[in-house]
DNA sequence: TAGTGGTCTAGACCACGCA
DNA sequence: GCGTGGTCTAGACCACTAC
């Protein structure tokens, strides 16, 4: 039998972090409010600077706070955009104003900040799906309200799109899917694979992510009615900016 | 015009972290390998202990490494389970061995570790969808290979399920959906909302998450053919353990 | 200019693992 | 018992923000 041991006290930095987190999650501290700074925590709890920093770093790494140099540490807000996957069924009587999570439903306009188009050799997984490594690639960054929210890399089989508008910056009305349709390869079936992880450094830079924000990674494969894969699109989303929604029936 | 300034050198701890990350992502260091420890980094780079710790903490907070007390810091593995949302279309000729990401396709068995069933007052968002705050709640924890991977909380309208097997531990053959069907409320339509964020402390404990692992949160609403919501299920997934997949057509 | 967070040093004691 | 990571102190200098 194990003698129930005295439950060990959490370390000081953790107790301080717990208190601040409580204040944030309970709503006592709201979006944009200033947290007590390092000096305030040192004085209030009689601790060293490094310990105060450690407490704040917990909240920062949890995505609940953002440090601003020379100013303070602030509570962080979460106001996501809603992205619909399959929405065939969501237009009926159900699914109107009955979402679980709050989100900005106003259709805020996307801006495409950056576009790079290139002919490349695809990595193995993409090559396997597209039937070969020769691809045209379209890399974009999307922003909403001046804020970068998504990186997107689309791969197309080179043999399919060579010489079409898909390999130029302006893909024309209807975008790449309209062009694929004109080529007799209209996308009909989609598969989306979704993961979440902490961002790599270049993603942190390109999406301007504060510490403690994961990214959602979506790998989407578009196939024609015949089942031929015509596009592989990898999207990196700022997780704090998105709610994904999928509607389907059993 | 801005005179292009000399690009500032990143701090030491960051350069060390970058080097180690590079070694991990390039495959030089593989799953389970031991990283150089604090003492090794101090000696190799001539830095103080706190600086070495800071470098390692970067990788730990990125989910790329796990510290083991008294032993070392180790590269972390990612071997996810595949969870299918809508898979109506995935059984055809397409979608066979053509996934983008690796995953354990062997159908490893789930274990239900913990079950709590209770009558509760639902929070606002759930009450709004279910048409009232009176709910029966089933809380479960799922494990795969002895490892907790998912927390799940299902809410059912109390008026609908009162006195049925849904309010008892053993829901009988076919589970709760079979019971709902017998009651004339078979689920037919599903909406899944997905977010990702860093875990709350109780989630870290219950899922035994190392630092740097986000969670995926899925809120699923099940509706009958008439559009009546009969279940709201909130799932918390260890993001390192899952790939979600959705199949649909345009 | 005063206050903030960012980086770094040089120590200390502890709990834990592994041999 | 030794090496590991976990916690903590008491300083230092810097860059940046706000006033």
Using a pLDDT cut of 90, give the percent of chain A over it.
68
Q: Could you tell me the pLDDT band of residue A130, with boundaries at 50, 70 and 90?
A: very high
Q: Which residue is nearest to nucleotide C10 (CA to C1')?
A: B48
What does the pLDDT read at residue A94?
Answer: 41
Q: Could you tell me the pLDDT band of residue A229, with boundaries at 50, 70 and 90?
A: very high
Helices and strands in chain A: count of H runs, count of E runs: 7, 10
Q: Is the CB of A44 under 7 A from strand C?
A: no
Nucleotides of strand D under 7 angstroms from a protein beta carbon: 3-12, 15-18
Q: Which residue is nearest to nucleotide C2 (CA to C1')?
A: A70
Q: Is A127 on the interface with B (CB under 8 A)?
A: no
Q: Is A80 on the interface with B (CB under 8 A)?
A: yes
Report, as an integer, the average pLDDT of A43-61. 95
CB-based contact B25 A247, cutoff 8 Å: no
The C-alpha of A225 sits at a distance from chain B's nearest C-alpha, in angstroms, of: 9
What does the pLDDT read at residue B7?
Answer: 57
User: Is residue A4 pLDDT above 60, yes or no?
Assistant: no
What does the pLDDT read at residue B171?
Answer: 87
> Going edge to edge, which strands form the sheet with A187-197?
A110-121, A134-144, A147-157, A229-238, A215-224, A187-197, B242-249, B81-84
Widest CA span of chain B, in angstroms? 75
Q: Is the CB of A39 under 7 A from strand C?
A: yes
What does the pLDDT read at residue A104?
Answer: 64
Q: Is the CB of B27 under 7 A from strand C?
A: no
What does the pLDDT read at residue B173?
Answer: 83
Q: Which residues pair with B197 in a beta bridge?
A: B215
CB-based contact A247 B190, cutoff 8 Å: yes
- Work out how many CB contacts closer than 8 A connect A with B: 180
CB A218 within 8 A of CB A193: yes
Q: Is B91 on the interface with A (CB under 8 A)?
A: no
Q: pLDDT tens, A153-165?
A: 999 999 999 999 9
What does the pLDDT read at residue B145?
Answer: 79
Question: Tell me: domain B81-245, CATH 2.70.98.90, correct?
Answer: no
What is the C-alpha to C-alpha distance for residues A235 and A190, in angstroms, rounded to an integer?
A: 14
Choose among B86, B100, B187: nearest Cβ to A129: B100
A12 nearest nt, CA–C1': D7
Mean pLDDT lowest among A120-129, A193-202, B83-92: B83-92
Q: Provide residues 28-87 of B with CB closer than 7 Å to any strand D atom.
A: 35, 37-40, 49-50, 53, 56, 67-73
Q: Is B18 on the interface with A (CB under 8 A)?
A: yes
Classify strands B147-157 and B134-144 as parallel, antiparallel or unpaired. Answer: antiparallel
Reference B76, options B200, B241, B243; nearest CA is: B241
What is the C-alpha to C-alpha distance for residues B81 and B67, in angstroms, rounded to an integer?
A: 24
The C-alpha of B16 sits at a distance from chain A's nearest C-alpha, in angstroms, of: 14
Q: Which of B154, B195, B235, B238 to mutate to test the interface with A (most CBs of A within 10 A)?
A: B195
Would you list the domain boundaries of chain A? 12-75, 81-245
Say how many residues make up chain A. 250
Mean pLDDT lowest among A1-5, A117-121, A203-207: A1-5
CB B238 within 8 A of CB B77: no
Q: Is the CB of B8 under 7 A from strand C?
A: no
Q: pLDDT tens, A13-24?
A: 999 999 999 999
CB-based contact A244 B193, cutoff 8 Å: yes
CB-based contact A227 B94, cutoff 8 Å: yes
Nucleotides of strand C under 7 angstroms from a protein beta carbon: 2-12, 15-18
What does the pLDDT read at residue A3?
Answer: 40
Q: pLDDT tens, A143-154?
A: 987 889 999 999
A53 nearest nt, CA–C1': C5
Q: Could you tell me the pLDDT band of residue A10, with boundaries at 50, 70 and 90?
A: confident
In 10 A of CB B90, how many CB atoms? 18
In 10 A of CB B47, how many CB atoms? 18
A36 nearest nt, CA–C1': C4
Q: Give, for all 250 residues of chain B, the pLDDT tens digit.
A: 434 445 567 899 999 999 999 999 998 999 999 999 999 999 999 999 999 999 999 999 999 999 998 999 999 877 788 898 876 434 443 444 467 777 765 566 788 888 999 999 999 999 999 999 999 999 999 998 788 999 999 999 999 999 999 999 888 888 899 999 999 999 998 999 999 999 999 999 999 999 999 999 999 999 999 989 999 999 999 999 999 999 988 7
CA angle, A177 as apex, A172 and A179 as ends, to 5°? 50
CB B177 within 8 A of CB B165: no
CA angle, A150 as apex, A218 and A221 as ends, to 5°? 30
CB A142 within 8 A of CB A153: no
Q: Which residue of A has its CA nearest to B81?
A: A195
Reference B135, options B224, B232, B223; nearest CA is: B232
Mean pLDDT lowest among A29-33, A171-175, A234-238: A171-175
Mean pLDDT lowest among A35-39, A188-192, B93-97, B180-184: B93-97
Reference A206, options A150, A123, A248, A146; nearest CA is: A150
Question: Tell me: domain B12-75, CATH 1.10.3720.10, correct?
Answer: no
């Amino acid at each position: 039998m194990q003698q129930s041991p005295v439950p060990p006290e959490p370390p000081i930095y953790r107790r301080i972090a717990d208190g601040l987190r409580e204040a944030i999650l309970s709503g006592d501290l709201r979006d944009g409010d200033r947290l007590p700074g390092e000096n305030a925590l040192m004085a209030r709890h009689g601790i060293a600077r490094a310990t105060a920093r450690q407490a704040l770093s917990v909240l920062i790494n949890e995505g609940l706070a953002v440090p601003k140099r020379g100013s303070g540490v602030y509570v962080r807000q979460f106001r996501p955009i809603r992205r619909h996957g399959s929405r065939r069924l969501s237009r009926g009587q159900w699914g109107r104003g009955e979402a679980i999570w709050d989100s900005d439903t106003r259709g805020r306009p996307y801006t495409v900040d950056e576009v790079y188009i290139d002919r490349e050799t695809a990595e193995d997984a993409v090559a396997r799906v597209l039937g070969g490594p020769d691809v045209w690639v379209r890399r974009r960054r999307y922003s909403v309200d001046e804020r970068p929210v998504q990186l997107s890399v689309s791969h197309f089989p080179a043999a399919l799109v060579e010489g079409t508008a898909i390999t130029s910056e302006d893909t024309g009305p209807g975008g790449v899917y309209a062009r694929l349709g004109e080529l007799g390869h209209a996308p009909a079936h989609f598969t989306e694979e979704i993961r979440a992880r902490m961002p790599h450094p270049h993603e942190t830079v390109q999406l301007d992510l504060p510490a403690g924000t994961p990214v959602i990674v979506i790998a989407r494969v578009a196939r024609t009615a015949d089942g031929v894969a015509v596009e592989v699109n990898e999207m990196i989303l700022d997780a704090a900016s998105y709610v994904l929604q999928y509607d389907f029936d059993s």
